[in-house]
DNA sequence: TAAAGGTGATGACAATTGTCATATTGGGCC
DNA sequence: GGCCCAATATGACAATTGTCATCACCTTTA
């Protein structure tokens, strides 16, 4: 019997996934969580084989969850199930020791199969992502990322400079540099590109 | 037996929802679709009681689907199941004759109950949305919306003006007007506000 | 210790954007 | 026809943004 813990912040989807996996005779969903923190504590309470988690969740993302589990040498295999096709996410997930990365776009009957394969020790990555995975690397520095994130929210140069304690001129330099690295014509486009690649 | 058609673009979620609803003895999922167009044609082939659909889908949104079904006097009751809490969406859904608007955040066991109630002729709206629903009305004109959408993508005034065959000056006027209506300091913030309210 | 490299700041200039007042145009409609 | 209105344009000006060269300070490292 493969013991599964599911973490997913949309209750409806969580319940539905749980129903889907419970249909399999060799699976049992031992616990469910609506955020990463809860999943972390439930994982420690239960004996679990597979942790199936989304990425974007309140309090703790799925990737942070994987990192935290890795840090305490937790033996369960972590599997990401998400909509995000950003190569940045995949890379970070692999670094966190994740054993599977599936997309919610994949047919629902492929999930059970993937769970079994990962349980057997294989590593599964959504085919759509394999090619692009080792493509471009995030070219942004931390400062550029931070500045770009604020610009993305519509903050002006002035507001950004106050928010992160840098001079307005420096902020503009970072934005300009980011745009140029990303081949964008302005801060908005730059932010969109970064966002699309999971760099933001 | 309540006959259900499900439209949802994420296969995994579609399959999971299908599994969830099939657990109920009085339900039968007669068809599933991955976009609105497909749902439209399947609805016409099958005899269906409830159409359960997401909003954002390729080819045809859930709201457009509801409108199309309303136009041909299709008798099935349409139910929206989505993540979007934008009041704009809810309003447009109600205008399209939708009988239920649930959030994916709601507990999964509330879905079956809602389906039954809607089947009995009730109208169900997620409680989180009821209060804000009749709040602010979309203040944007069609042109403003169109211009703002392009600006949101990082297009410059010049590019926008070419895309929609208006002078650059007029585009700037529209953007300025939109910002002022929305209380935003610049186009980016304006676009974000509009987006948040489902006006974009 | 000197060279190299990273981080942040400045100044200058052009381009773009935001704002506003004021045209122009082409319907509806009395 | 004449009037009103909405949609679109223009021009002018200030503010913001994008770009670039250069400088000042620290660390790191050879």
Question: Could you read off the pLDDT tens digit of each residue along chain B, which spans 200 residues?
Answer: 999 999 999 999 999 999 999 999 999 999 999 999 999 999 999 999 999 999 999 999 999 999 999 999 899 999 999 998 877 788 888 888 999 999 999 999 899 999 999 999 989 988 777 665 555 677 888 889 999 999 999 999 999 999 888 998 899 999 999 998 888 889 999 999 888 887 87
D18: residue with closest CA to C1': A176
Question: Chain A to chain B, count of Cβ pairs less than 8 Å apart?
Answer: 111
Q: Say how far apart CA B146 and CA B151 lie, in whole Å.
A: 9
Contacts of B192 in chain A (CB under 8 A): 153-154
Please determine, for the modelled complex, whether the ipTM score is greater than 0.85. no
C8: residue with closest CA to C1': A170
Burial class (CB in 10 A: 0-12, 13-18, 19+), A54: buried
* CB-CB contact of B90 with B82 (8 Å): no
Measured in whole angstroms, how far is the alpha carbon of residue B44 from the centre of its chain? 21
* CB-CB contact of A77 with A100 (8 Å): yes
């Amino acid at each position: 019997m493969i013991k599964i813990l599911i973490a997913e912040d949309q209750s409806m989807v969580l319940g539905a996934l749980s129903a889907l996996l419970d249909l399999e005779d060799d699976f049992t969903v031992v616990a469910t969580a609506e955020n990463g923190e809860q999943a972390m504590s439930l994982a420690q309470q239960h004996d679990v084989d597979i942790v199936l988690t989304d990425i974007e969740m309140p309090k703790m993302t799925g990737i942070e969850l994987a990192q935290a589990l890795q840090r305490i040498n937790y033996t369960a295999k972590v599997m990401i199930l998400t909509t995000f096709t950003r190569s940045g996410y995949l890379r970070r997930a692999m670094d966190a020791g994740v054993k599977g990365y599936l997309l919610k776009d994949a047919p629902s009957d492929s999930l059970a199969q993937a769970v079994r394969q990962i349980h057997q020790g294989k590593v599964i990555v959504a085919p759509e992502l394999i090619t692009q995975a080792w493509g471009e690397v995030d070219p942004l520095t931390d400062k550029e990322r931070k500045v770009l994130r604020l610009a993305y929210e519509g903050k002006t140069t002035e507001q950004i400079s106050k928010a992160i304690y840098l001079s307005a001129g420096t902020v503009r330099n970072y934005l300009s540099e980011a745009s140029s690295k990303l081949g964008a014509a302005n801060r908005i486009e730059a932010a969109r590109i970064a966002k699309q690649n999971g760099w933001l």
